[in-house]
Chains A and B, each alone.
Chain A
Amino acid sequence: MEYIIIIISAVFVNNILLSQFLGVCPFLGVSNKVSTAAGMSGAVIFVIAVSTLVTYLLQYYVLIPLGIEFMQTIAFILVIAALVQMVEIILKKISPSLYQALGIFLPLITTNCAVLGVALIVVTKEFTFGGEAHMLNLAEAMVYAIASAVGFGVAMVIFAGLREHLDLVNVPKVFKGAPIALITAGILALAFMGFAGLV
């Protein structure tokens, strides 16, 4: 039951993109087509899952025992950058087809704030899922991370669908491009606010 609450809350109620503003750059940058948006989302889900696992273990088994939590930001970003590189190399070897699909998005992911953001949230924020406030354990952290990434994907794909239609619409010149995309995103965020109070 608790995991279901975590999933619903991370995917819909506190959507990482539309209510926490993490990963807005790729949201605006690569959301012109549904297929590209889906590819990017797949790569993000994959990288967030792996990097959260590694940074969580790093935090609790290396940084805290050594008393060097202040190295958190540097250590996490290094781990993420290295991981993205590694994932790229491994994917190329073991699954060329998946690499073909995700390949071009992987280098972009290092500077996607959603990845570092989720890694930092799971080790610094207290959650109140299922009663009193507590830090997440590893299983909860993984469920939260993957659900957040899925939430990113859901918002990305919906938004890309909207933008495909937006391209065909006659928009005033000053609204073309980013402004109309932002206003559309705002209306989408309004729709997602309807989920508030669900959990």
Chain B
Amino acid sequence: MNFLKDISKGIIKENPTFVLILGMCPTLGTTTSALNGMGMGLATMVVLTLSNIAISLVSGQIPGKVRIPSYIVIIAAFVTVVQFVMQAYAPGLYSTLGLFIPLIVVNCIVLGRAEAFASKNGVLDSAIDGIGIGLGFTASLTVLGFVRELLGSGSVFGIKLLEGDGMLVFVLAPGAFIALGYLMVLFNKLKSRIL
């Protein structure tokens, strides 16, 4: 029961995108379709979980003054691993996400969780925290990608649902900002009703 609570915390109460407003660059840059958003979210989740585990294991040995650079190096190592795995097994997704894969290193969510959670908690808790926050991030990216793809090209996960070409602006840059803004409004509205 506690596990469920920890995991769901990342999805609603501490949702990285809609509540904490972190990691905006990949959120806006990669959600041109639901599939791209989901791919980016999952890649971040893998890095986040692995780096949380590694950092919770070694944080006792790292002197306080150099901890941030050390965390960044650990995160960068896992990002490089994910980069190679994606290049080998999902080359199409890798080339669409492009620059944003190496940029997971500077995603505030990953470093934020390392500093705020993994460095102070045990391995299992840190792993669960990584999965929870990662799932929340994946869910928000998928929803944003879903909305942009539906409005922009009339399809979802590549399956055509609406007639016509859709409003191209939602696939382009301005649509990302506007769609995310309105989704945030919707999220705030629903949250104030539930809680």
Contact = CB atoms under 8 A, between A and B. Distances in A.
Of the candidates A110, A111, A115, the one having the most CB atoms from chain B within 10 angstroms of its own CB is A111
Interface in B169-195: 169, 172-178, 180-182, 184-185, 188-189, 192
A74 B80 contact: yes
Interface residues of B, number: 42
Nearest to B177: A186
B176 A186 contact: yes
A158 interface: no
A19 interface: yes
Interface string B1-45: 000000000000000000001111110110000000000000000
A175 B185 contact: yes
Interface residues of A, number: 43
7 contacts: A18-B174, A73-B76, A73-B83, A77-B72, A78-B72, A113-B25, A120-B102
B84 A77 contact: no
Interface of B: 21-26, 28-29, 68-69, 72-73, 76-77, 79-80, 83-84, 99, 102-103, 105-108, 111, 169, 172-178, 180-182, 184-185, 188-189, 192
Contacts of B69: 78, 81-82
A182 B24 CA distance: 11
B169 to A, nearest CB: 7
Nearest to B31: A21
B70 to A, nearest CB: 11
Contacts, number: 118
Given A73-B76, A179-B184, A193-B172, 16 more contacts: A21-B29, A21-B173, A24-B24, A25-B22, A73-B83, A74-B76, A74-B77, A78-B73, A110-B106, A111-B106, A113-B103, A113-B107, A174-B192, A183-B177, A186-B174, A190-B174
A186 B29 CA distance: 13
Interface in A6-30: 18-25, 27-28
A90 interface: no
Contacts of B77: 74
